Amino acid sequence: MKSFSKRLLTLVTALGFAFGTLGGIEAAHAAEPKKKVKVVMSKKAVKPTSRIVKKKSGIKHASFRPAVRDDGPSFESDGITPRLASSAVAVIDQTTGNVLFEKNANHIVPIASITKLMTAMVALDVQPGLSEMLTISEADFDTIKGTHSRLGVGTQLTREEMLRLALMSSENRAASALSRHYPGGRPAFIAAMNRKAHDLGLSDTRFSDATGLTPENVSSARDLVRMVDAAHQYPLIREFSTSEEYHVDVRGRPQTFRNTNALVRNDGWNIGLSKTGYISEAGKCLVMQAWFDNKPMIIVLLDSWGKVTRIADAQRIKRWIESVATSRASVRS
């Protein structure tokens, strides 16, 4: 009996030990998966997130260019020279001829639709009939850049309306039609453009067409100051280039054309002449005659990038002139 009791006690003890060990192992196994699951989940969550962030960051930086902020005067460390994003700049006092600021002003570059100021001068120099009807034809289509126009084939407008649309909204077909309806046709018109450039002393300036769509139309900021000054002597160019908008019937349908320079609609500006331009080779361009503190100034901004850079540069120049330039000597950078 004693022997049986001992064997039974030994068996119970062994079983208790076994069950206790298994319980511990089972508890350990129950804890281990939790640790492994946490680690695996952490890895799976981090890697895709990291890849996504890098991919977005790469796309963003590939196409991102910092915006030009128009939030106040911006000066170099010397406190005198304005910081401008345009590649070539000239600012002069139109009355005295004093150069207030120049940046790469002698660089010869494409000028895009700034060309149309010369187009308008040449068209007006022959004292044409402004009420004469001109017709848009296929010869006025843009075969260089393939730009669109609301002036379809057969559109008839007066020479005055063509002139206004060419200057105000930079209508390429209108400018082309003006050159075709010139005495001697387009070749004579282009010759007259280059002849006038020579007569005005524009030694850096060459023209190959009346629209500015070709990069062969070139000039320098310094030359364009003179060209703006010459164009400013024409009352119609002053009026048409600064009109905010114009309503005209195009083949029986009313159309509204607006000025390509938003500053003409800004009450803080007093602009006497304006012209914008753009082709990829020229960048964004802007020339103006404007009044600051009752003084006429000419501003030339060439090869700006982005939609707002040339406008922001013009705003900076305005603030600079009003606060610094009028009391300083000429500045060149």
The reported pLDDT for the residue numbered 22 is 37
Q: Is 137 a catalytic residue?
A: no
pLDDT of 141 higher than 50: yes
Which pLDDT band, with edges at 50, 70 and 90, does 332 fall under?
low
- Report CA 264 to chain centroid distance, whole Å: 17
pLDDT in tens, 229-240: 999 999 999 999
Whether 119 contacts 159, CB under 8 Å: no
Please state the rounded mean pLDDT for residues 117-122. Answer: 98
Which pLDDT band, with edges at 50, 70 and 90, does 196 fall under?
very high
Whether 296 contacts 272, CB under 8 Å: yes
Which pLDDT band, with edges at 50, 70 and 90, does 181 fall under?
very high
pLDDT in tens, 70-107: 333 333 424 467 889 999 999 999 999 999 999 999 99
Q: In Å, how far are 61, 97, 118, 183 from 221, measured between CA atoms? A: 32, 14, 15, 30
pLDDT in tens, 211-234: 999 999 999 999 999 999 999 999
The reported pLDDT for the residue numbered 218 is 98
Structure tokens at 236: 């119609």
SS3 assignment, position 266: coil
Catalytic residue among 86, 87, 116, 241: 116
The reported pLDDT for the residue numbered 174 is 98
**Spans of all domains in the chain:** 1-64, 88-332
Amino acid at 243: S
The reported pLDDT for the residue numbered 94 is 97
The reported pLDDT for the residue numbered 71 is 35
Catalytic residue among 87, 113, 219, 304: 113
Which pLDDT band, with edges at 50, 70 and 90, does 33 fall under?
very low
Q: What are phi and psi of 278, to 5 degrees?
A: -160, 130
Structure tokens at 144: 């260089």
pLDDT in tens, 268-318: 999 999 999 999 999 999 999 999 988 999 999 999 988 889 999 999 999
Q: In Å, how far are 24, 25, 29, 35, 38 from 32, measured between CA atoms? A: 12, 10, 5, 5, 10
Angle at 125 between CA 119 and CA 130, to 5 degrees: 85
pLDDT of 32 higher than 60: no
Reported CATH class of domain 88-332: alpha beta
Contacts of 142 (CB under 8 A, 6+ apart): 149, 172, 173, 211, 213
Q: Is 113 a catalytic residue?
A: yes
The reported pLDDT for the residue numbered 279 is 97
Q: Is 220 a catalytic residue?
A: no
Please state the rounded mean pLDDT for residues 140-148. Answer: 94
pLDDT of 15 higher than 70: no
The reported pLDDT for the residue numbered 156 is 96
Structure tokens at 21: 């060990």
Catalytic residue among 169, 170, 219, 220: 170
Q: What is the mean pLDDT of the chain?
A: 81
